[in-house]
Chains A and B, each alone.
Chain A
Amino acid sequence: MKQSLKYLTDPLIKTNPITLQILGICSALAVTTSLSTALTMSGALSVVLILSNITISSIRKHIPTSIRLIIQITIIASLVIVMDMFLRAFAFDMSKRLSIFVGLIVTNCMVLGRAEAFARQNPVWPSFLDALGNSLGYSMILLIVGAIRELFGAGTLLGFQILPLIENGGWFQPLRLMYLAPSAFFILGFLIWIIRIWRPEQIEKPEFHILTPDDARKP
């Protein structure tokens, strides 16, 4: 029981796919200009991730090692295509706003990463929990970034006016920077900074050491 809960809660902060593993950044930048697109993208990715983890885990004992990546990608790609067609049928305007980014879930390292690192070696139930935990971790970051960008970029949340704009007689001047991709980088950077102050064990060791004159003199 305790182990199951760990599968679910670890990816929220401790091994969060975006802030610790820095995966899925492309979509986190592109679809977070508003909360509603971030919400749809989170939903789409969660469904794909959960189904792909369940499928791959249930056939894990019979995946030939030599073609396992191809098999995993085939499964993920079919799920993404179905998801994309589903959105185009029932949420046409939303799918137009998300344009290619639903299709690009195929290339989201997070989905293949969970399949390869977890679902391939674990039974179905833990794989399901792992997928659920990871999609919650991903969605949480996406929603935080989306909420900040929409609130300060347009003064709205899910389309409702929260901060009265100057042009409508209020006091809030929208920050246009929030609509541009760099703002998502800043917000993600701050999030990662805050999390690593709180959990210093997430700080990575420097990969390179810059030589100083003292180092050079040492034998």
Chain B
Amino acid sequence: MLDLNPLNWWRRLLALPNDNLTKTLVIAFLVAFTASVIVSFAAVTLRPFHIANLEKERQASLSEMIASLPGMDNILEGIGVDVVEIYIVDLASGEFIANIDPASFDQREAARDPNLSSPIPAEADIAGIKQRENYAQVFILRKDGDVQLVVLPVRGVGYQSMLYAYLALEADINTIAGLVFYEQGETPGIGARIEDPEWLALWPGKQLADENGEIKISVVHNKAVGPFEVDGISGATRTSNGVSNMLHFWLGDYGFGPFLTKLRASKERT
């Protein structure tokens, strides 16, 4: 007669010898299943805290970078604490967009939303981001109406993770004022050294493009010479290349290129 009571099945399973194939398979499945349920439960419940922590980190690194830039203290003192103006820029045209509230604009959400982003042709996608948001935040610091600093959020694929960074440009829109990574998952001790202050200190003063407007800035693996080269991190070739590609992408036509061109033009007019 067929026994339909699951409790009896369970007892019979437990009574089987431990090297029995059925029991081995069932126990393996049960252990894997329980473990995955526990891990997924923890991941889902703790996710809001992780996001909040990353957001705090992002804001901290932005204000830290702005505060650490040379000469920044004077500028900050001159205009008070809330100096950073956030603008939303249409990346394709390079125009400021007025009808989006910068405070509520979530750029990372926008990059995932098919209505607010566009795919990048594979040959142009050197940063490996596949989908690029149509609108992006830029932070502009002014003193007496003159642009002092432009901060651009950039991202790109490194060796094993997406690198998120802020690139700060000086008033000439060609000299780097600073670069800071606020989120990355590269190998600790190797690629993750892109967060080291000593390495980031190599960036200020470097130039983005030559007189013809061609983007030249890059991370090199031998000794860096000239205003367009930065020393790479030894052992982290692919992370270093990722940083180069990230900058080339975001300074190029698919990134902030049109916006930066407009900004330079508007400065020349005045």
Is B23 within 8 A of A75, CB to CB? no
Complex Cα–Cα for A65 and B23 (A): 11
Question: Which residue, B31, B43, B49, B192, has most C-beta atoms of chain A within 10 A?
Answer: B31
Residue-wise interface mask of B (40-79) relative to A, using a CB-CB cutoff of 8 A (1 in contact, 0 not): 0011001001100100110000000000000000000000
Cβ-defined partner of B49 (8 Å) among A66, A74, A78, A90: A90
Mask: chain A, 12-40; 1 = CB below 8 Å from B; 0 = not? 00000000000000000000000000000
Interface residues of A in 86-113 (CB under 8 A from B): 86, 88-90, 92, 99-100
A1 within 8 A of B: no
Q: Which residues of chain B come closer than 8 Å to A86, judged between CB atoms?
A: 42, 46
A70 to B24, CA, bound (A): 12
B46 touches A71 (CB 8 A): no
- Which parts of A173-197 form the interface with B (CB within 8 Å)? none
Tally chain B residues at the interface, Cβ within 8 Å.
24
A63 vs B27: C-alpha distance in the bound complex, in angstroms?
7
Distance of A58 from chain B, by nearest CB (Å): 12
Interface pair B39/A64, CB less than 8 Å apart: no
Query: What DSSP secondary structure best describes chain A's contact surface?
Result: helix
Give the residues in chain B near A71, CB-CB below 8 Å.
27-28, 31
Could you tell me if B24 and A85 are in contact, using CB atoms closer than 8 angstroms? no
CA distance A65 to B17 in the complex (A): 10
A78 touches B39 (CB 8 A): yes
| Cβ–Cβ contact A67 & B188, under 8 A | no
List of A residues within 8 angstroms of B35 by Cβ = 74-75, 77-78
Question: B20 — nearest CB in chain A belongs to which residue?
Answer: A64
Contacts of B82 in A (CB 8 A): none
When chains A and B are docked, how far (Å) is the Cα of A64 from the Cα of B27?
8
B2 contacts chain A at the CB level, 8 A cutoff: no
Main secondary structure on B side of the interface with A: helix
With A71-B28, A85-B50, A89-B46 already in contact, the answer to whether A65 and B39 are too (CB < 8 A) is: no
Which residues on A sit within 8 Å (CB–CB) of B268?
none
Select B18's contact among A62, A70, A77, A82, beta carbons within 8 Å.
Answer: A62
> Judging by beta carbons under 8 Å apart, are A62 and B23 in contact?
yes
Also in contact, A67 and B23, with CB within 8 A (given A88-B46, A92-B53): no
Closest to B42 in A: A82
Does A47 reach chain B (CB closer than 8 Å)? no
Q: Which residues in A have their C-beta under 8 angstroms from that of B49? A: 88-90
Min CB gap A34→B, angstroms = 17
Q: Interface 1/0s, chain A 39-70, versus B by CB < 8 A?
A: 00000000000000000000001111111001
Closest chain B CB from A109 CB (angstroms): 21
What separation, in Å, do the CA atoms of A86 and B56 have in the docked complex? 17
Instruction: Decide if B18 touches A65 in the complex (CB within 8 Å).
Output: yes
Q: Is there an interface contact between B27 and A82, defined as CB atoms closer than 8 Å?
A: no
User: Could you give 5 example pairs across A and B, Cβ below 8 Å?
Assistant: A63-B18, A65-B18, A78-B38, A85-B43, A99-B188
17 more A-B contacts (CB under 8 A) besides A62-B23, A81-B39?
A62-B27, A63-B27, A64-B23, A64-B28, A66-B24, A67-B28, A71-B28, A78-B35, A78-B36, A78-B39, A85-B43, A85-B46, A88-B49, A88-B53, A89-B46, A89-B49, A99-B188
Measured CB to CB, the residues of A under 8 A from B are 61-67, 70-71, 74-75, 77-78, 81-82, 85-86, 88-90, 92, 99-100
The 5 A-B residue pairs with the shortest CB-CB distance, nearest first, are A89-B49, A78-B35, A64-B24, A92-B53, A89-B46
